[in-house]
Structure 1
Amino acid sequence: MGWIVLAVLVLLVMIVIGMYNSLVRLRAACDSAWADIDVQLKRRYDLIPNLVETVKAYAAHEKGALEAVINARAKAMSAQGPEAKGAAETQLTQSLKSLFALAEAYPQLRAVEAFNQLQGSLNQIEDAVQNARRYYNAVVRDYNAKTQEIPTNLIAGWFNFVGRQFFEVTDTVQREPPKVQF
């Protein structure tokens, strides 16, 4: 009888360890996915000053639009957490749309190869950011579901595994990356 009780206890401990480890793996995946978003956003932030300088050379009197991009970039870089990053990224995307709309008004700017290369790079980065966001949100979905499912929710509560926020853009109009058409 004693061996049966011991075997059941060992089995229960193994199950708890398995649930704990699955939560740890999902939490690590969330952290890794968030880091991927940060990498893509850093690439985007690094590209924007070059884009602004290129436009500035051709549209120097459009100072307001250029300053809006610079300010939005600074806010986005300093934002912390998915909710704040989402809001800051929304503002940055809007200011970039304004910058590209401004560029449409200057045919000589559209003919500059450097501008076209920067624009192409930004489009590639926007696609990478979108993919990183999708992956992050998928991992957060799995993690949050695991922390709420029975019996894993008991282990999550005991070891303080808390749900994560999705990386969302709150304004439906701004959910898409900037589209530039010349």
Structure 2
Amino acid sequence: MEIIIALGVIALLITFLVIQYNRLIRLNVAVDESFAQIEVQLKRRADLIPNLVETVKGYAEHEKSTFDAVVSARAKATSATSFTDVAAADGMLTQALRGLLAVAEAYPDLKASANFLSLQDELSTTENKVSFARQFYNDTVRELNTAVKTVPTNFFAGFAKVSEREFYEVEDPQSRQAPNVKF
């Protein structure tokens, strides 16, 4: 009888350990997945930019520095690989797009262009998706970090090779605001 009780206790303990380990692994995978979603939305935004730049270029030939800044920021954003580089490139690209849209404000014909309006609408939708993806990522990071720091899962974090993750923050405080788009 004592052996059965001991085996039952051991089975419960093993079950508890497996549950905690699996929880940490699931949270870690969720953070990886949510960061991948940020990258998907940033790629979508980067894919819209050449069309937007070309549309604005047709109306504002002399705004070369603005176009160069957007193209350069897009190149950095598409080549960024590490978490820190992606966040920094995201901030730079947001700033460059803000400058491009400011240039567009000076050209009434451009603002009335159906192509430009369509691209601007796509960009606005994409910015909302990027914002949501950032929020979702930070929510999953918060959940993972809480699990890594709290009992009982903190005892298993090292064994599961799971550690705290950084929150996704845009470097430039101004880029934390959505681009100001006026019609």
Q: TM-score, normalised by structure 1?
A: 0.95
In the aligned structure 2, how far is the partner of 1:51 from the partner of 1:63?
A: 14
1:72 aligns with: 73
1:47 aligns with: 48
1:14 aligns with: 15
Amino acid at match of 1:107: P
Shift of 1:180: 1.1
1:169 aligns with: 170
In the aligned structure 1, how far is the partner of 2:78 from the partner of 2:109?
A: 31
Greater Cα shift, 62-71 or 33-42:
33-42
1:96 aligns with: 97
Look up the SS of the partner of 2:115 in the other structure. helix
Asked whether the 8 Å contact 1:83–1:166 carries over to 2, the reply is no
2:116 aligns with: 115
Amino acid at match of 1:110: K
In the aligned structure 2, how far is the partner of 1:70 from the partner of 1:171?
A: 19
Amino acid at match of 2:58: A
Asked whether the 8 Å contact 1:82–1:166 carries over to 2, the reply is no
2:86 aligns with: 85
2:4 aligns with: 3
Question: CA offsets, 1:90-144, max 9 Å, x none?
Answer: 1111111111111111122112110111001100000011011111110111011
1:24 aligns with: 25
In the aligned structure 1, how far is the partner of 2:166 from the partner of 2:83?
A: 6
Greater Cα shift, 76-85 or 35-44:
76-85
In the aligned structure 2, how far is the partner of 1:155 from the partner of 1:40?
A: 33
1:62 aligns with: 63
In the aligned structure 2, how far is the partner of 1:71 from the partner of 1:111?
A: 27
Shift of 1:82: 3.1
2:129 aligns with: 128
Unmatched 5+ residue regions in structure 1? none
Question: CA offsets, 1:127-178, max 9 Å, x none?
Answer: 0110111111101110111111112111111221111111111322220221
Question: CA offsets, 1:32-64, max 9 Å, x none?
Answer: 111211111111010000000001111112111
In the aligned structure 2, how far is the partner of 1:126 from the partner of 1:146?
A: 30
RMSD, aligned CA? 1.2
Pairs aligned (count): 182
Look up the SS of the partner of 2:167 in the other structure. coil
In the aligned structure 2, how far is the partner of 1:12 from the partner of 1:47?
A: 53
Asked whether the 8 Å contact 1:41–1:129 carries over to 2, the reply is yes
Asked whether the 8 Å contact 1:83–1:168 carries over to 2, the reply is no
Unmatched 5+ residue regions in structure 2? none
